[in-house]
Chains A and B, each alone.
Chain A
Amino acid sequence: MSLLSNKLFQLNQLIAPQKLLTRIVPIVNTLQERNYAARKGTRERKKKAKVKVEIKKVGFIAHNLRGREQMLAARASKKFSDTWKADPIDNVYPMKYYKWIVYPFSEAIKAHRETHHPEIYNKPDAELYATVELNMQAEKKNRFMENFTRIAAVPHKFDHGEDRNILVFAKSEESQNEAREAGAQYVGGPELVKQIQTGQLSLYDFQYFIAHPDILPELVQLRGVMKRRFPNVKSGTLETDLKSVIDRYLRGISYQAVKDEYEKDFGQINAVLGHLNMNDTHLEENFAAFINDVYTQKPKRDGSFIYRCYLWSPPSSEKLKIDHEMYLDAAEEPKEEKQKIVQTVVL
């Protein structure tokens, strides 16, 4: 029992209740009056808490990175879509107001041959390039595929103008001879592995390493040195059929899919298919082989992998769109909304 109530109890016995009320109330009031700080330093502490404004330190931003966010916001998406545009209705029209013309492959080559005719650019043996635009989204929505570099085997060989150094590892005499016949300059067995280990032969002189499975026990010692370039089945560099692998690596179409710097789900491939003076059907078959090789990289998800494909040939700046879907072997059943080839192209 507190002191106050103790006193009340005593008072209660002495005085009548009506009198008690009037007398006690003033006593209680005086007890609550207080003209000092609630606790020492409370006011100061609250003042301090209010004034505190955090000043964020902004580090140095290089001049080319300033305003990056505004740049990204203003940047047009590279993903191509002209579905909102109308189909042409006349025989003469400016292309930019209408959907892109989808050329049949041979017509596109014919158009390029016109610009490279001796009477115009005079470059009938110019390289024919194909650009493939890819949807680099992986299985999950915010995961993206890695850049990939591959070599596609083509049915019709041409001079790609690249120096491709290949090192072939094979144990048996038979497979070594097979590799030499296929055109490999450097072929060797376990002695080659030792030379690399001792440093007599540098791995930097070679771009690609191909191996026959029979040499694998010795070759494993080089795994640490070669790292990602170590021959493996997945990339097609560890196979018994050396001839076809070497042929592909020496004479195939080498291409690289590069993701956009900012738009991570957009990738692009530029590859040479051949020369303009090659046969139409040969070029077409090369393209079919190339596009099918690209399509093997499609991640396991729904939706399209290839946005569009177009052919171009320097020095002309023309880009002629072609329908890639008709060349895909493993393609799903054709959709109803598939773009029709515009037949109005007159060449």
Chain B
Amino acid sequence: MWKTVPFVTKSISSSSILLAASSLIQQQIRTTYILKRKFPPQLHKKGSPPKKLRSRHYIYDLVEDTNTKKQEDIDVILTTFVEGLGNSGEKIKVKPQFAYNSLLLPGLAVYACPENLEKYKDTLCNKESVEYSSPNALPTIKTLSRITLSVVMNKDHPWVLKPWHVKTSFRKSGYVVPDDAITLPEKPITGPDMGLENKEFYVTVTINNKEKVNVRCRLHHWSTDIIDRIPYTPYFWEEDTEPIYPEFKEVLETLPKKVTKSVNKN
């Protein structure tokens, strides 16, 4: 087959239609295969014409298929704030397919070419244009606003709710929230009070001293003695309840309710 290639190309070059490609849509496709001859042809004699290639000389080993090669990450400059990635004007490194489909096509970013770098260099320096304190602030706000935090307090020992109680509850549920980021409602919550059991209140969490988010909390009483302990209610966040104080109602109504993803409830 390979031996016929020169003849075929000769016939193509004679018919000019195929080569006059100016009217066709030209799209770049990458089909480079790097090959190596399995049986390299021998050197020819000095001054004599090159030796004829035999069929075995057209057998190749594949060295590299550039189509399946992993492409390197590319730099793009964000033109707006993108959740989890960064603020506008920030140069980030992302996978090329993700960059093309999710950032460049929707117009959220531009290629980090020298012209664009020059064009967007002032955007980041301008601190006023920074929407969020960090790229992950918005996802954290979203997560915190839809949870129902269970705050477990003692049933026998007197207490007044303090930020460190809420911080501990956050840590138990898998959220890092420092003491100084928690603002409790002004009206103090004291206990133990079984009238407050399974009732709701809210706390305000400040992320990076900038973004504020209200978090729905539910108070539960816990006794060390297993006989006095109130049994755990599965999916307690799905049951409707009242706020601890009527003043909380306004804020609590604005917060979305936690939705259970799993269907199988037993």
Whether a CB of chain A sits under 8 angstroms from the CB of B129 is: no
Contact-residue bracket for chain B: 20 to 34
In the assembled complex, the Cα of A327 lies from the Cα of B135 at a distance in Å of 37
Whether a CB of chain B sits under 8 angstroms from the CB of A101 is: yes
Whether a CB of chain B sits under 8 angstroms from the CB of A114 is: yes
Quick check: A92 and B168 within 8 Å, CB to CB? Answer: no
Whether a CB of chain A sits under 8 angstroms from the CB of B202 is: no
Q: How far is the CB of B219 from chain A (nearest CB, A)?
A: 12
Q: Which of A92, A96, A122 contacts B157 (CB 8 A)?
A: A122
Q: Which of A94, A101, A318 contacts B172 (CB 8 A)?
A: A318
Q: Which of A92, A96, A122 contacts B181 (CB 8 A)?
A: A92
In the assembled complex, the Cα of A115 lies from the Cα of B168 at a distance in Å of 7
Quick check: A115 and B224 within 8 Å, CB to CB? Answer: no
CB-contacts of B165-183 with A (<8 A): 165, 168, 171-172, 174-181
Q: Which of A88, A90, A121 contacts B154 (CB 8 A)?
A: A121
Whether a CB of chain B sits under 8 angstroms from the CB of A14 is: no
Determine the chain A residues whose CB is within 8 A of the CB of B81 once the complex forms: none
Whether a CB of chain B sits under 8 angstroms from the CB of A91 is: yes
Quick check: B224 and A93 within 8 Å, CB to CB? Answer: no
Interface core residue of B153, B168, B206 (most chain A CB under 10 Å): B168
Determine the chain B residues whose CB is within 8 A of the CB of A90 once the complex forms: 133-134, 136-137, 140, 207-208
Contact-residue bracket for chain A: 20 to 34
Determine the chain B residues whose CB is within 8 A of the CB of A114 once the complex forms: 164, 168
Whether a CB of chain B sits under 8 angstroms from the CB of A111 is: yes
CB-contacts of A93-114 with B (<8 A): 93-96, 101, 111, 114
Determine the chain B residues whose CB is within 8 A of the CB of A115 once the complex forms: 168, 172
Quick check: B222 and A121 within 8 Å, CB to CB? Answer: yes
Quick check: B176 and A92 within 8 Å, CB to CB? Answer: yes
A325-347 toward B: CB 8 Å interface, digit per residue (1/0)?
A: 00000000000000000000010
Whether a CB of chain A sits under 8 angstroms from the CB of B77 is: no
Quick check: B140 and A318 within 8 Å, CB to CB? Answer: no
Whether a CB of chain B sits under 8 angstroms from the CB of A232 is: no
Q: A91-B176, A123-B224, A346-B180 are in contact. List 10 more A-B contacts (CB 8 A).
A: A89-B136, A94-B176, A118-B157, A119-B153, A119-B154, A120-B154, A121-B152, A121-B154, A121-B222, A346-B178
